[in-house]
């Protein structure tokens, strides 16, 4: 998931450099959404991994 976030961030940077503002804004929005999904899943895995099985 984090890999896709980085890929969309790089696409947004390249599109912004070349002046494709619409594509850059879309790619940056997708990267932001994927990043927040990654953070939520990461936190859930940390919380889920801390439970002890007795």
What are the sequence ranges of the domains in the chain? 2-50
Average pLDDT score over the chain: 84
Cβ proximity of 24 and 12 under 8 Å: yes
Cβ proximity of 34 and 5 under 8 Å: yes
pTM of the model: 0.66
Cβ proximity of 16 and 31 under 8 Å: no
Confidence (pLDDT) at 25: 87
Structure confidence at residue 26 as a pLDDT band (50, 70, 90): confident
Q: What angle do CA 43, 13, 44 make, to 5 degrees?
A: 5
Confidence (pLDDT) at 27: 87
Give the ranges where the chain is alpha helix by DSSP (H): 2-18, 21-50
Residue 46 CA to residue 54 CA, distance in Å, equals 18
């Amino acid at each position: 998931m984090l890999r896709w976030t980085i890929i969309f961030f790089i696409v947004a940077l390249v599109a912004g450099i070349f002046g494709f503002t619409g594509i850059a804004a879309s790619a940056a929005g997708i990267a932001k959404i994927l990043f927040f999904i990654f953070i939520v899943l990461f936190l859930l895995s940390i919380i889920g991994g801390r439970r002890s099985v007795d």
